[in-house]
Chains A and B, each alone.
Chain A
Amino acid sequence: MTDVRIFGYCDPLAARAGKPIDFMVSVEGTKEVEAQIVRLVHGDENPEGPGFVEEEVETDVPGVLTVRRQYTQLGSFASVDDGDGRLAAPGAFTLHAFFYATTPGKRRQTLLGSWSVNSSKGYGLGVNPDGHLEFWVGDGETVDHVTAEVALVPKVWHFVAATYDPATGAARLHQIGVVNRWNSHIGPVVPFDHDSHVSETLRVRPAVAGASFLIAGSHENNPTRGDFVSMIFNGKIDRCGLYDRVLERAEIEAMATGSVPDAGILAYWDTAQGYTDRGIGDVIVDTGPHGMNATGHNRPIRAMTGWNWRGREDSFRLDPTQYGGIAFHDDALIDCEWEPTVTWTPPEDIRSGVYALRLRAGGAEDHVPVIIRPAAPRARIAILMSTFTYLAYANEHLAFEAHTAQAITAHTPVLVPEDIEFKKLEEFGLSTYDHHSDGAGVCYSSWRRPIINMRPKYRMPGMTFPWALPADLSLIWWMDQSGYDYELLSDHDLHREGVEALRPYKAVINCTHPEYYSEEMMDATEDYLTGGGRLLYIGGNGYYWVTSLCDGDPACIEVRKLDVGSRAWQAEAGEGYLASTGERSGLWRSRGRAPQKIVGLGFTTEGMDESQPFERMPDSFHKRAAWIFEGIGETELIGDFGLAQGGAAGIELDRYELALGTPPHTLLVAASHGHSDNYPLVSEEITYAFPGRGGTQDPQVRGDMIYFTTPNNGAVFAAGSIAWSQALPCHGGDNSVGQIMRNVLDAFTRDGPLPGAAFVGEEKHWR
């Protein structure tokens, strides 16, 4: 590897011509980088395709940028708005919290406190490196502490109260287990005695830390990096607060059962406050007299079960008071919060496309991509870029961490040196396919951070071919090559504007993998189709996960993997509802909206060892659809080539299924055959498990190509395969897959009735 490391991201990822785009860049090893805006045309370097293609664009972005190293705060915590410094030196006080530790003993972690690591000043309540609860104070010289007798049992709800009186130095630490039949990892049958009450006289009086009160973190400073937060807690914290007096033992025991004494409240963060039917925000409300609300950083996860969860109410919408849990993770990352290095405002007349800020220095190169939609729609075709999917897979660790990954993909991961560098750094957060360091699934992903696998040449290590954005560029290259006039839209545009975003276009094309969909996007697609819109769904496993955008933060998606489906993780019981919308997450089909109901196809299998061609089915000879196959031989294999494992049908495949809502008049015009057993039937299709659900034995393992019409001359052409678009660039773009695309696009972009629309009479056969 070179000594220069370049990382960057932009905001917004989904931009519009004429509106500014901020590029945030961090560079190690040099002070200056060459910068050039390019339009990305093709990403995959596979020698069977056109290779990497970019066009340099004349802009006002300086050719050389002055850069520096920018640092990233990892981990989620909440900081308290304590403008009056009430919590800095509260005199005699009691700290209390309900909490659920997931990694006690990993290292020192803070629950609550005003603690400065460097100066050893302040006070804190947390978990010590041995996994014991500890209350500590420091005067800048020495640190004194009182420690609970027994180590915390992981993933069990506890109540803790620490009282301290600076007049006498007397400190008491109360740890009370509050495990019930529902709330914890283990139940009441396990003979743990979780309780510990320790009293001790401390020799040290806390000095004022001079840093704000934090929930789940402590302040630290590094000479080069500056101030940051460390000692981040892994686990959940429920209702917590401070009293300005020493609470009696009886009061503390009452608190462990949920009561809250009134006298002397300094702060009481009622973590269950603020829920509506539509979710909850980032502010943790202080219902005490001073209203010192806490604000989450890197998005502590709300809508999590609390200490008093009883299971009957499996959503916060049924009883918010049982959902006071807030999950904190030491490796959460939503926003790098880097300073913009350069801002580019693409001119209003710029061609819509995938652009990138190309940065080069000392042999290192990085592309920071941005998707630019037109200032006003003009073309007849829109390509809908799957920005939700890009975020869902952002910086995935599957090949490195998921021991099942090789079994799923059927081959050994192929890495490049930059993968290794990136994973060594471990600075830019996780994808919704990963787990936090305590094993909990990752439910948030945002674009405000460098994303290694959203760059043009990148290949997913586990699959050895490009995935998502770099794969979608194959479609862009082919559209350019074939001379179509098109414009780009993003999931984010569709989510924000609904059907209005699609309506100006005669035809809309989905990309390879439109897997993550919000309700707004589902509605908009349906409304577009019922209004006469024409959709080319030429991807695999689309319209799958119930996804949402975080309120007030368009950069961040939320998804909770639930119950069924090809899921990298499984939300804990009661934690399947989205904090950002109040919706039940999981698969859309579990909520009555199987993808078949919108685009006729839905996910049926996945495999990454080899792809197959499509073969025409008898329906392709019906005049209603035969026009799609103009120029294709009767038994010609469609797409027996491709940059994604050598075929147009592969990777992830979708199936026609009347039982799941495929429109009854749908024509099944082609299907793939001959998949290996590495293509198993997906789990949501399996009720009873029995052997032989792989490609060589199960007829449901295939990819389908269908066509159906919708009201007002609308229509859907769907080829349910991720590999479809990656077959387009083969043979110079002039191939059977491209032929079908041209037939469909030419028809879809014409006004008036679709070809074949007239052939609806009853067939009278002599044969």
Chain B
Amino acid sequence: MPETTARTSERPDKKLHKVGRRHHDYRLKPDGPAEWSRVRVPFTRRHWLKWRGVYNPRNLARERILADKMPLWWTLGLGGLVVVTPFLPNPMINVAAIFCMFAAINVLWTLIIGTAGIFSLATLAVVGMAGYAAAAANVYLGLPWPLMFLVGPLVGFAIGGILALPSTRLDGLYYALLTMGVAEICRIFVTQLRALAPMNGSINKVGSFIPEDWFLQREGLLLGFAGAFLLLLAALLVFRLVNSERLGLLLRAAKMSREDEAFSEACGIDFRRARLYVFLISSAALGVCGAFYAMYYRSISPSVFSLDQLLLLFAMMVIGGLGRSEGAVLGAAIVIVIDKGLIELGPLRIILIAAIMLLVTVFAHEGLTGARQQFRNFRNRKKGERRALRTEKGGEVMPEEATEIADKQEIYYRRFNKRLRDELKTFITPELIEEHRQAPLGRHSDTLERVLNFFRRGDMPDKYAILRVDGAWDRFRIMALSGERGAPPRVVDDKEYASLSEAYHAVFLLRVNDLLES
């Protein structure tokens, strides 16, 4: 077709590129006849890994792919930490332990902010108050250290309960300010306590799972790390149980209809209660972290309530990505390594953290862990833009578009119909339209017949039909069919025609219009 090549050469961006790509990841090739015994996580109906069996549509080969690769990354990340830490110098073991602790706090905070959707900044206040209470119980009441793990969560639960009260009444920002205020009140309260005044508000010599003579020794550090690591694992388990089970699912369902919380309530989702539960569970777990904190350092000081600590925690969240556990952990790792690991950099490291935070907020919408999805979205957007430039609606299919069309005959139909339309467009003249107006039915000129045949053979969706309004003989309207069983036609416009011939002709004009616009 000479016209087509001419048109192609007019648009230099219409070069046809080769498409196709090799696998870059490893794919299991399961053997159909072999029996596949699937093992479950004990006490659940879940499998350890989310395998998916698929046929690769390109060669129809059976493949077994991991639909969710996160467990792999978790195992690699946390496993690597466990393997490497014992070989690190002492200060770095300390850093690893602090990382685990803060990561645990962060993960629990993510439950509050992400899952429950409560913008609370009182996280460290809960940790601190629980830590103080546990330490005080140990130091002043002589409570043995294992029971601190009971006092911590109880206090956390209580404070969580108090903080939860206004959470459903106040909007995000006001609530955040309120919780910041609470943290500050806690700090001032502790520093002004007469009993603690000699120690500048600290409680020291707190009992711990680390024996006193191991304290700050390598054994003690390793034991501290082991404890912190277990704390992180426990926090992750809590996150998993809350976020991915009933409570999390309820809240996610409610979140989908945020605009109309009354709607989700009408559906039977008591999202307020679910949020409250998540908040209380997280606060109690943060209480455990508080007790652990006091034991790990064998002391606790008002600095735990300080704004800079809170902002550091906030930086972790922002860098890692809000609302996901991997973000909380990754953010903690980066910030802790810089803040505690590169201590010789001095104040520069705070600037470094700020710079990273700034970069991440400028370039990544969802933190580092959201970067992959963001990249995909970016690529899709670019793809859409380029495609809009390279292809015309209803025009020839480009190779990259063809990879997405399973029935290859559709691609030919697109080509054929495009060329047919181009030819038919040249037939549309005022005379032709007048010929149809005079006799919509019956024998027509060959040219009109060709145009009509093309219209009549069109696909069902959006094909025009005529409505006889209220069964009258002089009121006709134009509709478009859905092409889907059970889905009614839609009204095209509210124009009414006084005779069937006029309606037939009006449909013809609409179709001519569609043809010329295509």
Contacts and interface: CB of A to CB of B under 8 A. Distances in A.
Interface string B466-505: 1111110100100101010111110000000000100110
Contact of A199 (B36, B55, B463): B36
Interface stretch (A62-70, A225-233, A407-415, A523-531): A407-415
A676 B488 contact: no
Contacts of A142: 45
Nearest to A674: B443
Interface string B386-410: 0000000000000000000000000
B456 A192 contact: no
A746 interface: no
Contacts of B44: 203
A399 interface: yes
B435 to A, nearest CB: 14
A452 to B, nearest CB: 14
Contacts of A199: 35-38
A413 B53 contact: no
Interface in B27-68: 30-38, 40, 44-45, 51, 53-55, 59-62, 64
Interface stretch (A214-222, A419-427, A656-664): A419-427
B4 interface: no
A394 to B, nearest CB: 16
Interface residues of B, number: 58
Interface string A739-751: 0000000000000
A587 B174 CA distance: 79
Contact of B456 (A194, A410, A645): A410
Interface string A226-263: 00000000000000000000000100000000000000
A399 B459 CA distance: 12
Contact of B467 (A198, A402, A403, A417): A417
A195 B33 CA distance: 6
A196 B34 CA distance: 8
Given A149-B30, A415-B479, A416-B471, A192 B60 contact: yes
B507 interface: yes
A97 to B, nearest CB: 19
B486 A426 contact: yes
A168 interface: no
Contact of A198 (B36, B464, B473): B36
B60 A190 contact: yes
B489 A610 contact: no
A30 interface: no
Nearest to B468: A416
A461 interface: yes
Contacts of A404: 457
Contact of A677 (B62, B440, B449, B476): B449
B221 to A, nearest CB: 42
A403 B500 CA distance: 22
B440 to A, nearest CB: 7
B485 A437 contact: yes
Interface string A38-73: 000000010100000000000000000000000000
Contact of A424 (B45, B55, B456, B486): B486
A643 to B, nearest CB: 13
A610 B501 CA distance: 13
A414 B442 contact: no
Nearest to A47: B473
Contacts of A196: 32, 36, 53
A192 B55 contact: yes
B33 A411 contact: no
B55 A151 contact: yes
A203 B45 contact: yes
Given A411-B441, A420-B489, A198 B465 contact: no
B45 A416 contact: no
Instruction: Give the residue among A191, A196, A202, A397 with the most B Cβ atoms within 10 A.
Output: A196
Contacts of A609: 441-442
Contact of B463 (A190, A198, A204, A403): A403
Nearest to B60: A191
Nearest to A418: B471
A423 B32 CA distance: 44
Interface string A177-198: 0000000000000111111111
Contacts of B36: 149, 196-199
Nearest to B472: A416
B460 interface: yes
Interface in A662-677: 674, 676-677
Contact of A150 (B45, B55, B464): B55
A403 B59 contact: no
A475 to B, nearest CB: 23
Contacts of A420: 467, 488-489
Given A150-B53, A200-B37, A412 B464 contact: yes
A412 B55 contact: no
Contacts of A696: 443
By size class, the interface of chain A is 35 or more
Contacts of A411: 440-441, 504
Given A191-B59, A426-B485, A464-B500, A414 B32 contact: no
Nearest to A46: B473
Nearest to A402: B460
B426 interface: no
Given A415-B479, A461-B465, A197 B488 contact: no
Nearest to A197: B35
Contacts of B481: 400, 413
B372 interface: no
A415 B60 contact: no
A414 B466 contact: yes
B383 interface: no
Contacts of A150: 32, 53-55, 62
A196 B466 CA distance: 52
Contacts of A201: 40
A464 B210 CA distance: 91
Contact of A407 (B441, B453, B465, B487): B453
A406 interface: yes
Contacts of A401: 460, 483, 485
A139 interface: no
A144 interface: yes
B458 interface: yes
Contact of B40 (A190, A200, A403): A200
Nearest to A608: B441
Contact of A249 (B35, B442, B453): B35
A514 B32 CA distance: 54
Contact of A194 (B32, B64, B457): B32
Nearest to A253: B33
B89 to A, nearest CB: 47
B465 A417 contact: no
Nearest to B51: A149
B468 A414 contact: yes
Contacts of B35: 172, 197-199, 249
Given A151-B55, A193-B62, A412-B464, A676 B471 contact: no
Interface in A340-354: none
Contacts of A153: 55
A412 B38 contact: no
Contacts of B61: 191, 193
Given A399-B465, A415-B489, A677-B449, A610 B441 contact: yes
Nearest to A694: B449
16 contacts: A150-B54, A150-B62, A193-B61, A197-B33, A197-B36, A199-B36, A203-B40, A203-B44, A399-B465, A403-B460, A411-B441, A414-B500, A414-B503, A415-B466, A423-B486, A425-B486
Interface of B: 30-38, 40, 44-45, 51, 53-55, 59-62, 64, 440-444, 449, 452-453, 455-460, 463-471, 473, 476, 479, 481, 483, 485-489, 500, 503-504, 507
Given A193-B32, A200-B37, A202-B45, 11 more contacts: A194-B32, A196-B32, A399-B465, A406-B457, A410-B441, A412-B504, A414-B476, A423-B486, A423-B488, A464-B500, A609-B441
